[in-house]
Amino acid sequence: MSTFQAPKGTYDLLPPNSATYLAVREAISAPLKNSGYGYVETPGFENVELFARGVGESTDIVTKEMYAFETKGGDQLALRPEGTASVLRAALEANLHKAGNLPVKLWYSGSYYRYERPQKGRYRHFSQVGAEAIGAEDPALDAELIILADQAYRSLGLRNFRILLNSLGDKECRPVYRAALQEFLRGLDLDEETLRRAEINPLRVLDDKRADVQKQLTGAPSMPDYLCDACTAYHKEVRELLDAAGVVYEDDAKLVRGLDYYTRTTFEFVHDGLGSQSAVGGGGRYDGLSEMIGGPSLPSVGWALGVDRTVLALEAEGVDLELPATTSVFAVPLGEEARRVLFGKVTELRKAGIATDFSYGGKGLKGAMKNANRSGARFTLVAGERDLADGVVQLKDMESGEQGPVALDAVLETLKAKLG
Ligand code: HAM
């Protein structure tokens, strides 16, 4: 029998690379924790209807990419393809919006599932860190989120990303634009499927990657020309706040997102070293989503950054994160008595917060030192019968190769001093 493999479109995170993923999640969430966002965690699956209504019946995510299933109890569920609808559902269910402290600011980190055609940067299981600010209409909130994402990427050392910014209007001006675009698209020479899309979701056609379609789209009505006064003023203020913060962005009138809930501010973070799956993160305002899922009017804004693609972006830029050493000290006992004594030392060092590991499995000195080397530990502690009789262990600096005895009861203090 052949061994099992990870399902198509998925991959495992394993040491040592998995440490980079943890560091990326930490770097993205740090600015959020520092800005009033509280941690939220929701189930990995939800009622399928939540996503159908929230993300949009006609989106690719809902029609083609959802892992939907019926439970033995007859519930219609789906693995979450994104986080916004779930987080808003959770906030509404717990009445967080009624606690009188709007906006409710939440951040999350987790796994998401989309049945997409796998390729580099596009997986069926991927992870995001996201933020949602629920219940306030304020351009400063849109700006805050974009600034925090920019800060997160910069703190990781990323430089070759760009921020694309657009406004999709609101319930006053978007329908007028939509109708104008539809009228324009009807006059083009498009295949049947695209014409159908133009009827259901015309803005998606702007996102068509085919050159012949893009060519026909020159001269298409442009959203900025259709924004109402309120949306124009709102967008102007978002842009001014970003300018004041020194965050560079590009206006992109053709930026449309793959989810239907967006209104007004929309943005995407793209990285130029990633080929076709260049969006490392995205988000925007979703003023109507709460009502779409049965809640009160709660204008909101948020984003999600893709952890997998952020790691690819780091690789593309050749950025090596400074990761903390996983093991600082490695203990090698020679003989039974040493095993007992050193194991006690290991526990003592760990309690003091020093990352320490132990040679298990009764290896000889040579094999154990190989393990010590591989662990990346800066120091090893070696002890045999004679050392114990003298009340010492041998402390070896793996960088300089220097070695010398240290009294057993001075090991902790000595290592503390040496490790700074
Ligand atoms: P999204 O643009 O669908 O937005 O996903 C956000 C990010 O997740 C993408 O930019 C990408 O980095 C990553 N991502 C998406 N699909 C995949 C995939 N198949 N493989 C690898 N990475 C992927 C949302 O999900 C919205 N909920 C963002 C948001 C929050 N809007 C408002 N609040």
Ligand 1 within 6 A of CB of 84: yes
DSSP calls for 328-354: SEEEEE-SHHHHHHHHHHHHHHHHTT-
In this structure, how many other beta carbons lie within 10 angstroms of the beta carbon of residue 393?
A: 27
- Reported as a single tens digit per residue, the pLDDT across 344-358 is 999 999 999 999 999
In sequence order, which ranges of 156-282 are alpha helices (DSSP H)? 174-186, 192-200, 202-205, 211-216, 223-226, 229-244
- Reported as a single tens digit per residue, the pLDDT across 288-335 is 999 999 999 999 999 999 999 999 999 999 999 988 878 999 999 999
Residue 420 pLDDT > 90: no
CA angle 174, 180, 186 (to 5 degrees): 130
- Reported as a single tens digit per residue, the pLDDT across 244-273 is 999 999 999 999 888 999 999 999 999 999
What atom of ligand 1 comes closest to residue 123's alpha carbon? Answer: 20
pLDDT of residue 337: 94
Measure the CA–CA gap between 27 and 335, rounded to whole angstroms.
44
Q: Any idea which fold 329-419 has?
A: Rossmann fold (3.40.50)
Looking at the chain, the whole-number percentage of residues with pLDDT higher than 90 is 91
CA–chain centroid gap for 96, Å, is 24
Ligand 1 within 6 A of CB of 142: no
Residue 418 pLDDT > 80: yes
Give domain 18-173+227-317's CATH architecture: 2-Layer Sandwich (3.30)
What atom of ligand 1 comes closest to residue 310's alpha carbon? Answer: 12
What atom of ligand 1 comes closest to residue 304's alpha carbon? Answer: 28
Nearest-CA residue for atom 10 of ligand 1: 281
- Reported as a single tens digit per residue, the pLDDT across 85-119 is 999 999 999 999 998 889 999 999 999 999 999 99
Domain extents for the chain?
Answer: 18-173+227-317, 329-419
pLDDT band at 66 (very low <50, low <70, confident <90, very high): very high
pLDDT of residue 362: 83
Torsion of CA 53, 54, 55, 59, to 10 degrees: 20
- Give the mean model confidence (pLDDT) for residues 40-47: 98
Distance 192 CA to ligand 1 centre (A): 28
Hey, do 18-173+227-317 and 329-419 end up sharing a CATH topology, with the first three levels equal? no
Residue 19 pLDDT > 90: yes
Ligand 1 within 6 A of CB of 122: yes
Q: What is the residue-averaged pLDDT of the chain?
A: 96
Burial class (CB in 10 A: 0-12, 13-18, 19+), 217: middle
Q: What residue type is assigned to position 231 of the chain?
A: C
Residue 407 pLDDT > 90: yes
pLDDT of residue 326: 86
- 56-65, 214-223, 231-240: range with highest mean pLDDT: 231-240
Residue 363 pLDDT > 90: no
pLDDT of residue 1: 63
